[in-house]
Amino acid sequence: MKSQKKIVFFIIIFILLYVCWLLLYDFWIAPQTALDSFLIEKVGRSSAWLLALFGWEGFYHVGYHTVYLGEKACVSVGAPCNGLEIFVVFSLFIIALPMSHLHKIWYIPMGIVFIFGINVLRVAALTLNAYYFPESIDFNHHYLFTFVVYLFVFFLWYFWVNYFVSFQKVQ
């Protein structure tokens, strides 16, 4: 019964934090656009850089928020694809768990960096997909690559719960 109360408490805290985030985002962050614009540009530039690193002629056009391969515009990066929402959901999950704050202080930023990296890989892969196989871009964008990113986040949560909950019980 005690563990059921902890689960209910976690769910309530998570939902309350998420509602606060939605209100904060809708009424203050989104209208200013600075954070979204910053993340969009970082994801776009990083994806183009990654493509160039592996020999493709990738570049990012700031004005159009678009990743190009050569002369072809392939992928536009928008606010839903900049990773902010998943950074927040990941972080709120960790924050809502009733565990030591010491580990949360380093795990949340580390997780956000990893999620950013997987999102950059996602956008770079979608760019290649749009260039070489444009007929499959919608499926891969909306389903396959979204699933991969969320699976990665789930793995980060799984690692957190299994390692740090077990670690805290030992102490």
pLDDT in tens, 12-48: 999 999 999 999 998 888 888 899 999 999 999 999 9
pLDDT in tens, 38-65: 999 999 999 999 999 999 999 999 999 9
- 36 with 30: CB under 8 angstroms? yes
- With 0-12 / 13-18 / 19 or more C-beta atoms within 10 angstroms meaning exposed / middle / buried, residue 58 is buried
Is residue 78 a contact partner of residue 37, using CB atoms and an 8 Å limit? no
Q: Edge to edge, what strands does the sheet with 66-69 contain?
A: 58-61, 66-69, 72-76
What is the pLDDT, as a whole number, of residue 169? Answer: 52
Half-sphere exposure of 38 (CA within 13 A, CB side): 7
Q: Is the pLDDT of residue 170 over 80?
A: no
Instruction: Tell me which amino acid residue 8 is.
Output: V
